Amino acid sequence: MCGFVGIWHASPDRPVERGLLKAMTDTIIHRGPDDEGFFVDRNLGLGFRRLSIIDLSAAGHQPMCNEDGSVWIVFNGEYYGFQHVQQTLRARGHQFKSRTDTETILHLYEEEGIEGLAKIDGMFAFALWDGRKRELYLVRDRLGIKPLFYYTDGNRVVFGSEMKAILRDPSVPREIDNEALSHYLSFMTIPAPFTAYRNMYKLRPGHYLKITADGIADVCYWDLPSTVNEEASEESLAASLDELLGEAVRSQLVSDVPLGAFLSGGVDSSIVVAKMADGMREPVRSFSIAFPGMGDDDETPFARQVSTLLKTDHREFAVTPHLIEILPKLVWHFDEPFAVSSAFATYFLARMARENVTVALTGDGGDEVFAGYPFRYSQDARFQRIAWIPQPFRRLLFGAVEQMPVAGPAAMKEFLQWAKKGAGFFTHDADYAFFRTLSFFTETHKRLLVSDKDRFAQCRPSFDILDEHYRRRAGQDPVSRRLYADIKTTLADEMLTKVDRMTMASSLEARVPLLDHRVVEFAARVPARYKLHGREGKLVLKRSAAGYLPSEILHRRKHGFNVPLDKWLRDELFPFMTDLLSEETLKRRGIFDARSVGRLIADHREHRANNVGQLYILMNFELWQRQFLDAPAAGGTA
């Protein structure tokens, strides 16, 4: 697990400055505190920061080259099971100087070209330079577990593992991308390929860029299978899945440094820890965390139960964070507005775990792959009850409910909030309802929120981000279609972004065995009826684990990995929020209407509405502006 940067100029006569590469890598030292390295070949330069995990010797130094120095690579991530491929390459005459997965990719490229990507099993982002052909490849793993960003102005490409490294180049402009802002207001994250900055992009999962003097080609090299195995029984699918999960976890236990696991006591992390316990000689080191005030959302009793069952070396952390101090640090690590409140918990859990281990396996990805959010994926049954109502009348009827004020006794307020939320689902269709479960500001609300009503006039509606993926799976059942869209958007842009940045903030490598591409491909072929039934999701996953995990763990009520932010914004964080979103600040920025924001704050404070998502979105946006647009330092300030 590491970080890298690079610069490529279209003109072969324009050299890369080594000093700039050094400045860029310095901004991501947290991703690789153990070593640094550089390589310059006229118009191409690479920089690297290393977190030593496999082969801790100097032989693992990067940038790394092949035998004759014609091909160079900087690699972030893990190539699981690379030893088998390495043996094959040795038999074909390739010479290795290290025990690293990175060097295996170099020789695999020599043997098979970029098509050798199909053999890389793992999480990765890398830049590979073929000096003979003068070709640069930027590659990101299938699911988007590891990040890769790039800026281009047509004459050069500046790239790196984090955006702050790219911003270290003083010639890279910092202009807000309006379409990215619009999507951020909907999703609380910015979906790929957008970033908050104009002309800077996220390389999409399962894609690579081929960069030559002729231009940039964006190539999709992997996608989920679109066919479903309708013939197999649920029992046989569960048995096959159990075997696959065991293989995935075992392949990710390879490490030359201490290794552990995040354990919440939920289905996903419990399965991962159980498989780890089967594959390790010593007890698994497991970690969990809780915040005061979580109440029924405190999962530590369940984590304790699983720990006792699996005999792990378990440690719990109860954290009372100083959020006013911590939130700016989180914003600095995300590089752009990112309003997922569970990042707090992940940050503290990673920080505590890093005191004991360097690598941690997590259960992330299970919900998006196996339908862990029943409410989100099964909207169609509700629509069948109202399908006879023409859409214009539906919009009129339910639109009126959406506009109802929330007032009266507490029970009435709770009912009206539920009715308003439900009404929004029925104004369009089932696919749009899925979008509404993911979004915070509607297109109408966004237009009311901004001071300049034309700011988003040229932007696509945010629903189009999901609809693009729906259309690719038009022939599939609704649940499979929405899972596909979720994997392509929420998983990469929210969940995996959160895990990568918050673990790397503490120089901790996080591995996600439920997102082994073989597991994900297998799950895509499982019929929807074996994933979701009524209000229960992850059916086949739970059945696969029924032999070693108790029913009270497999079938308990789902919890999110969250913090009580709605309460904090009404109490201890209220002064901090109102300072960030003051009328003076909003007018000076000239982006959001101060009266509209004031109403959101007042309604939340007086319990007329729960606007925690909307307010946290706006708070993060203001903090991001202060650190990355106002700050004099090129990479932002923590």
Catalytic (active-site) positions: 2
Separation of alpha carbons 285 and 315, rounded Å: 8
Residue 476 tokens read as 């599939």
Other CB atoms within a 10 A radius of the CB of residue 214 amount to 9
Separation of alpha carbons 81 and 605, rounded Å: 53
Residue 80 tokens read as 């699981």
Q: How far is CA 36 from the centre of its chain?
A: 26
User: How do strand 2-9 and strand 200-202 relate by DSSP bridges?
Assistant: unpaired
Separation of alpha carbons 419 and 413, rounded Å: 10
User: How do strand 359-361 and strand 509-511 relate by DSSP bridges?
Assistant: parallel
Do residues 302 and 337 lie in contact, with contact meaning Cβ atoms separated by under 8 Å? no
- CB-based burial of residue 570 (10 Å sphere; 0-12 exposed, 13-18 middle, 19+ buried)? middle
Separation of alpha carbons 151 and 632, rounded Å: 20
Do residues 349 and 262 lie in contact, with contact meaning Cβ atoms separated by under 8 Å? yes
For residue 118, give the DSSP letter. G
| DSSP tally for the chain: helices H, then strands E | 28, 19
End-to-end CA separation in angstroms for the chain: 22
Do residues 563 and 291 lie in contact, with contact meaning Cβ atoms separated by under 8 Å? yes
Question: Alpha helix locations (H) across 263-409?
Answer: 267-279, 300-310, 323-334, 343-354, 366-370, 374-377, 380-386, 391-402
- 228-258 b/e with 16+ CB inside 10 Å = b? beeeeeeeebbebbbebbbbbbbbbbbeeee
Residue 218 tokens read as 């964006």
Separation of alpha carbons 165 and 554, rounded Å: 42
Other CB atoms within a 10 A radius of the CB of residue 81 amount to 19
Separation of alpha carbons 241 and 616, rounded Å: 38
Q: What are residue 617's phi and psi, to 5 degrees? A: -60, -50
Q: How far is CA 154 from the centre of its chain?
A: 28
Separation of alpha carbons 120 and 206, rounded Å: 12
Separation of alpha carbons 297 and 264, rounded Å: 11
Report the candidate in 619, 526, 535, 517 with the shortest Cα–Cα distance to residue 569. Answer: 619
Report the candidate in 126, 111, 128 with the shortest Cα–Cα distance to residue 41. Answer: 128
Q: Which residue has the tokens 């919900």?
A: 367
Do residues 163 and 336 lie in contact, with contact meaning Cβ atoms separated by under 8 Å? yes
Residue 270 tokens read as 């419990």
